[in-house]
Amino acid sequence: MIVLGLSGALKHDPSAALLVDGEIVAAAEEERFTRDKHAKDCPPYESAKFCMEYAGVNPEQVDYVAFPFAPISIFSPARWHYAKRYWYAPDRALDALFNGNRRYREHKKNIHQLGNRLGINWQKTQFVPVEHHLSHASSAYHLSGFEGKCAILGVDGKGEYATTFFGYGENGEIHKIKEFYDPDSLGGLYGAITEYLGFEMLDGEYKVMGMAPYGDASKYDFSRLIRAQGDGFAVDTQLVNTVGLRRYKDAQGKGHYFSQKLVDWLGPPRVGDIADDPYIHYAASMQQLFETWVLKLVETHLGDVLAETGALAFAGGGALNVKLNQRLLDRHDIKQLFVQPASGDSGTALGAATYVAHQKGEHIQPMRHVYLGPNYSNENCEIALLEFQQSQDVQFSWKKMSDPVGETAKVLAEGHPIAWFHGRMEFGPRALGGRSIIGCPNAPGIADRINQQIKFRERWRPFCPSMLDTLAADILQSDHPAPYMTITFEVAQSWRERIPEVVHEDGTARAQVVSKDTSPRYYALLETMQELTGNGVLLNTSLNRRGEPMVCSPQDALNMFFGSDLAYLVLEDWMVTKTST
């Protein structure tokens, strides 16, 4: 059975994923091909085409196209809740009641048009809609590899109407326990404060999370943003999660997801790249509020399941909050935590596909790695180098390395950062040794150098460590699996001085524990670094510049390389330098 999952239901982060006989064969985000971050308002055309070509699948062979957006019945509480809470914007309230599946009908039409472009035969291929939060739930549960029953958590901005999902999985079936609906959204609340703090909603939430450790949450009480209501919560839409006339408008007339009342309370929204008072404290307060409410709701709605199973599968944009995930793992009743590495909306292509495949009788294979995108041979890289040399007026040289791992490690040990391009591209937002900028984490100042001269990003943003699996328990003081940079851990005091460039302000690190079977060359590089420096750890950040998607092709890597102050680029077995060798 062949299932093609397509995402982009909420007009951002379109992607495609292909399952063949219950196993992920390929998955990729559209932005990596179009080079437009988040690929807003774009269909997942290039990503779908890649998935089918990589798998050798003819479009007419696709049995099902799964899409993470479904019609919601007028008898569901979702549309009535939305209409009641948005009474102050009657156009939206009435639309939810009388035309509440309008967006679904638009999506279905658009996907059929996309299928025609791809060559899908709709006489043979069935279109199957899946509720957005069921797609998130499936992406975590069905790919977790958990045996038996487990709790499922979904925290997002919103799908059709739902914003937060609590349930459990058992024998392949997903059971809802509780959902909350827009505008009562923890993800939306975090996004509203993200906008207030000067970042783009649906893009800058991780920057708020990175800023938070520099602040003091006790300085400002954010509790008025949200209140308890029954066994759930209600967001104060006088302040955040606003629509219509309640929205704050900036000098350019752009409306925001927070109100003038919030500005009257907290002062003018932050601008620029400086993390200063009071905004660092606001970030800390928002992070604390988010963690507090998620943990409270988990206890209320999943406490019994967790006590029984000890396992939690987590997805949705909120699952990318690695500090929250650390707090979840600290709970006494969570022994196993699987966070879908593509937790955001791009991962719903996987979730919709796995959900449909299971419903049609397939046994879903667990996720083993995220190296699911395109790969390029040494010949592909050489052609790209020759074409770049002919078309660009830049001076550089390149050579084919006889020992790619050893020669790369030598440059790293000398204190130089390197652009590292190898194997298949990662699916999801984290660079995991396929498309990475890497450096030696005990080279003084290398993090600031990468931030200022290469990534052109805020100086307070942290970097992550990739480490050998043989060292992880000693460094992280935990033996919990951490292959995808989805959880922060307290770094052991004895290691903080050894790898200072990858330890954040609060003493934590968002770690990638590397195994030999899923990433053999990257593992060999870490082993060689251990031999040369005594530390089998690398600083690792995504291979891109600020505001750009992660690199996909050799051409992308060369463009990024020559648009930065990097001196070394490894393209498979080729070493590229800006100075003669």
**How far is C-alpha 344 from the geometric centre of its chain's CA atoms?**
5
pLDDT beyond 60 at 580:
no
Instruction: Report how far residue 278's alpha carbon sits from residue 377's, in angstroms, rounded to the nearest whole number.
Output: 50
Asked whether the beta carbons of 89 and 243 are under 8 A apart, the reply is yes
Confidence (pLDDT) at 274: 79
Whether the predicted pLDDT of 458 surpasses 80: no
Secondary structure (DSSP) of 256-277: EEEEHHHHHHH-SPP-SS---T
The pTM assigned to this predicted structure is 0.97
- Report pLDDT for 20: 98
Residue 457 pLDDT greater than 80, yes or no: no
Burial string for 542-562 (b: 16+ CB within 10 Å, else e) reads bbbbeebbbbbbbbbbbbbbe
Quick check: 29 pLDDT over 80?
yes
Residue 454 has what pLDDT? 78
**Predicted confidence (pLDDT) per residue in 79-136, tens digit:** 999 999 999 999 999 999 999 999 999 999 999 999 999 999 999 999 999 999 999 9
Strands 311-315 and 336-339: parallel
Do 2-143+339-359 and 378-577 show the same overall fold?
no
- Note if the bond before 278 is cis, omega within 30 degrees: yes
Euclidean distance between CA atoms 44 and 68, whole angstroms: 13
Looking at residue 451, its pLDDT comes to: 83
- Res 323 pLDDT > 80: yes
- Smallest CA-to-CA distance from 277 within 192, 196, 216 is with 216
Q: Which of 12, 132, 136, 256 is catalytic?
A: 12
Residue 579 has pLDDT above 80, yes or no: no
Higher pLDDT, 393 or 317: 317
DSSP annotation of 240 reads B
Q: Does domain 186-332 have CATH number 3.30.420.40?
A: yes
Quick one: what percent of the chain has pLDDT higher than 70?
99
Cα–Cα distance measured from residue 446 to residue 6, given in angstroms and rounded to the nearest whole number: 39
Predicted local distance difference test score (pLDDT) of residue 275 = 79
Q: Are strands 126-129 and 64-67 parallel, antiparallel or unpaired?
A: parallel
pLDDT, residue 462, reads: 84
From the options 3.40.50.2020, 3.90.870.20, 3.40.50.300, 3.50.50.60, give the CATH code of 378-577: 3.90.870.20
Residue 386 identity: L
Contact (Cβ atoms closer than 8 angstroms) between residue 32 and residue 426: no
At residue 581 the predicted structure's pLDDT band, cuts being 50, 70 and 90, is very low
Q: What is the DSSP letter of 8?
A: -
* CA dist., res. 288 & res. 1, Å (int): 45
Worst-scoring range by mean pLDDT, 214-218, 274-278, 324-328, 376-380? 274-278
Contacts of 142 (CB under 8 A, 6+ apart): 169, 172, 351, 354, 355, 358, 364
The percent helix, strand, coil of the chain (3-state, each to 5) is 40, 20, 40
Mean pLDDT of the residues in the chain:
96
* Segment 6-19 mean pLDDT: 96
Distance (Å, whole) CA 433 – CA 524: 12
195 CB-near residues (< 8 Å, 6+ apart): 201, 256, 257, 258, 269
SS3 253: coil
The amino acid at residue 74 is: I
Amino acid letter, 186: L
**How far, rounded to the nearest angstrom, does the alpha carbon of residue 92 sit from its chain's CA centroid?**
30
Counting every residue written for the chain, the total comes to: 581
Dist. CA 462–CA 460, nearest whole Å: 6
CATH number belonging to domain 2-143+339-359: 3.30.420.40
| Domain definitions of the chain by residue range | 2-143+339-359, 186-332, 378-577
Residue partners of 50: CB distance under 8 A and separation at least 6: 16, 26, 28, 33, 373, 374
SS3 at position 465: strand
Read off the pLDDT of each residue in 522-551 and give the average, rounded to a whole number. Answer: 96
Helix axes 132-144, 348-359, angle to 10 degrees: 80
- Would you state the pLDDT for residue 144? 98
Of 241, 101, 222, 134, the residue nearest 184 (C-alpha) = 241
Contact 212, 279 (CB under 8 A): no
* pLDDT above 90 (res 54): yes
Distant-in-sequence, close-in-space partners of 323: CB < 8 Å, separation ≥ 6: 209, 212, 287, 291, 488, 508
pLDDT of residue 272: 84
Token pair of 537 as six digits:
């750890």
In this structure, which amino acid lies at residue 572? E
Q: What is the pLDDT at residue 448?
A: 86
- Calpha distance 324→508 (Å, rounded): 13
- The residue type found at 430 is R
Report pLDDT digits (tens) over 294-307. 999 999 999 999 99
Known catalytic membership, residue 136:
no
Q: What is the number of helices (H) and of strands (E) in the chain?
A: 19, 24
Mean pLDDT, residues 141-150: 97
Give phi and psi for 5, each to the nearest 5. Answer: -95, 135
Q: For the chain, state the CA radius of gyration.
A: 23
Closest C-alpha to 292, from 241, 343, 345, 233: 233
Q: Which residue matches tokens 């091909």? A: 33
User: Does the bond joining 465 to the residue before it have cis omega, within 30 degrees of 0?
Assistant: no
Distance CA 85, CA 64 (A): 37
How many other CB atoms are found less than 10 A from the CB of residue 332? 8
The arithmetic mean of pLDDT across residues 506-522, rounded, is 97
Statement: residue 453 has pLDDT above 80: no
Supply the DSSP string of 52-110, one letter for each residue.
HHHHT--GGG--EEEES-----TTSHHHHHHHHHTTTSHHHHHHHHHSTTHHHHHHHHH
60 is written with which tokens? 């007419």
Helix, strand or coil for residue 441? coil
